[in-house]
Amino acid sequence: MRRVGKSSLLHIIKDEILKDVADENKIYINFEATNLLSINNVNSLLEYLKPLLEDVKGKVYFFFDEIQVIDGWEQVISDLKHNRDYDIFLTSSNKKLISSLSEKYVEFEIQPFTFSEFKKAFENMELSKENLFYKFIQLGGLPFLKYFDLDETPSFEYLNDIYNTVLVKDVLQYNNIRDVDLFNHIFSYVLTNIGQSFSASSIKTYLKNKNKNISVDTILNYLEYCNIAFLIKKVPRYDITSKKTLKVDEKYYLWHTLAIIIFIHQSIVLTFLVKFKIQHLKIRFKYKLWNQKAKILLLSQQVKKKAVKQCSPPILQYNAKKCN
């Protein structure tokens, strides 16, 4: 998952745990850095590494951050293995990364803060345990939130940016999904049915009622893409009776509260905007109605004055002036 501290962990290993290793024997590459966007395949990566390894002696430690960007990165790992002594540390926002690796490896997932870690990170704010728990539920446990001091406005902007990055980069672009609107309908359906068993057929029926046609296979692919990108987690059916495990009704949960936080926040904002727009239209309508009534009243008063001036006897006008 993005923004949970993978890059920070690589730097801790590189700069603290391996502090006694010479800098030239430690090569760190973030493949999403703007100055390295041209490195996107095996050949360009090997060409980039060649001058860095020319005069290096002894064991080399490679730190490849977001390696999934490189097309055919497994070949690079295999090539390095046959040419020198090395250790390689890989990070990816895609769960499918390690499954395609044929080498021996140790895998561990980095999760956002638990509540106990969240409390420790914000212990200097002197908030009660109940208020911290409310903030934890409201904003989630991503480490970078510490720099916003739990201020809601910048925190939600930050979370929204991450959510959009995960959807666009790790799901839509990575899997070449073209019908974004259809994908959003499916993902919204999953978010509103978290923890409930449903099948791809039920989603197909739901979308059919909205005049949107899609195959069951496409729905299953979309759900798997979200699972690989650490947005949702599929929990397969389990039953003592073996035949029941063949049923396709599965449950989906969130890897992290990020998606539901943004989903609820956007829904609240949308509801507020709709209510604000309706209220605004009501005010405008009332103003126009009042303005129209005022114009009619003003017009009637002008007509009345004109009529009095034209029809009143001169003696009455004279008496009025005299009285004044």
Q: For the chain, how long is the longest CA-to-CA vector?
A: 121
Residue 17 pLDDT > 90: yes
Which of 184, 229, 171, 220 shows the shortest CA–CA distance to 199? 220
Decide which of 275 and 201 is more confident: 201
Q: What is the pLDDT of residues 253-268, one digit of tens each?
A: 887 776 666 666 555 4
pTM score, two decimals? 0.70
Instruction: Report the run of H or E that residue 252 belongs to, with start and end.
Output: strand 251-254
Using pLDDT thresholds of 50, 70 and 90, give the confidence band for residue 4: confident
**Positive or negative: CA dihedral 65, 70, 75, 80:** negative
Residues of the chain above pLDDT 90, percent: 19
Average pLDDT value for the chain? 77
User: What pLDDT does 260 receive?
Assistant: 65
Show the tokens assigned to 297.
């009243």
* Distance between CA atoms of residues 87 and 130, nearest Å: 44
CA 214 to chain centre: 24
Using pLDDT thresholds of 50, 70 and 90, give the confidence band for residue 104: confident
DSSP SS3 for 87? strand
